[in-house]
Amino acid sequence: MLIEDEEGNIILDKTMNSKPNGFIDLWLPRNDTYNVAIQHDGETVESSISTYEGDDTCITTMQLSS
């Protein structure tokens, strides 16, 4: 998993294991926008996530095809 802020600073770059239900617990600093890339078995999904007041706190739209 790779997470960068809008300036390209790396926030997280490491291998993570999802829970049995496929979810990952992840806390990001407030009031910023992040570019997230998740890779599995040669496939990558990318999305932008923001952490401003009123933003969703649970993101379920990033899915790799199975």
Q: Is the pTM of this model over 0.85?
A: no
Per-residue pLDDT of the chain (66 residues; tens, 9 = 90+): 999 999 999 999 999 988 888 788 888 999 999 999 998 888 898 999 999 999 988 887 666 655
CB 24 within 8 A of CB 18: yes
Domain-wise residue ranges, the chain: 2-18+26-50
Whole-angstrom Cα distance, residue 44 to residue 29? 23
